[in-house]
Amino acid sequence: MLQIGSHLFEHNIVLAPMAGITDSVFRDICRQNGACYTLAEMVASKKQLWESKKSSTRQANLNDPEPRAIQLIGTDPNELAEAAAWQVSLGAQIIDLNMGCPAKKVCSVAAGSALMADPGRVTDIFAAVVSAVNVPVTVKTRTGTDAENRNALQIAHIAQQQGLQAITIHGRTREDKFRGLAEYETIKAVKQAIDIPVIANGDICTPEQAEFVLKYTAVDGIMIGRAAQGYPWIFREINHYLKTGSKFAEPSFDEFYQTIIRHISGIHTLYGELLGVRIARKHIGWYGQHLPAGLELRKQFNQLQTPEAQLAIIERFFEPLLSKPY
């Protein structure tokens, strides 16, 4: 059982915050399929960006299911504290701090996982944000900046000392980005050393791997990121496997159809026609990896310029499949 502050979750499988992916539409679909807890995409702490077009779809929204969790990224303790307080005023119920993003444009300004190289600033950020809000504060990190500087344990101790309520650790360093295999030894060591909940992230793509990571590290929960892209059913499959030890039936073509239509329609509504059409394309690419002739669907879909045409091609694609099992 996973608990963050006063929020107790039925399951312990979490959807990772992924920029440009985990918007409110996708988070809702993942919750419907067994994600116990989902985090919104990261929002910049700089005040001038709070109400930008991009940030407008990432703020706390009272229409979202509880608990509403917002992830902030930045480097200035006061800016982050002010941004956290503003998000709470909008309805955020958990504030997560991004110290795990390895993207060059983020790390070049010493944000994201680059912050792990500056424990003093990390301490100041944690103290400022915890003091600014009356909701749980959590953090997502990497194992360190590089193989010679794995300091996730140090950061975890600081998090606990400053009053954070949970830490998520991706089993790679900043330098690794997403190359190579995630390692869980560091995560295991952190779990053994601190009392606040620890969530493991990285390369958890199957129910069997989820079970292994939970047992090996003894963490309180696991976070799923890339494995959910185009396959939100991964959450129910993991939950079922952990509970019963058996595989859950793969989604039918009808489930794929209903979910894709709902997802793409929701994207059109959330972002508007022009941007929605563009964003829908990458999601169809991911769904297509799990469908027969999915590559051809993606190629055709990427040529379309209107929401109506996108929905129409999905209907045509699935028409001959809906009478067949997966």
What's the token pair of residue 72?
């902030």
Residue 176 in contact with residue 219, Cβ under 8 Å? no
What's the token pair of residue 192?
């053994």
Told to judge if 101 belongs to the known catalytic residues of this protein, a careful annotator would answer yes
Helical ranges in the chain per DSSP H: 24-32, 77-90, 104-107, 119-132, 152-161, 185-193, 207-217, 234-244, 253-271, 273-288, 294-301, 307-318
- Nearest CA-CA partner of 264 in 297, 227, 224, 235: 297
Pairing of strands 42-44, 166-170: unpaired
**From 36, 101, 107, 205, the catalytic residue:** 101
| Element of type H or E holding 68 | none
| Element of type H or E holding 13 | strand 13-15
Q: Rg of the chain's alpha carbons, rounded to an integer?
A: 20
- Which residues are within 8 A (CB) of 195 and not within 5 positions of it... i.e. 6 or more apart? 160
Active site residues: 101
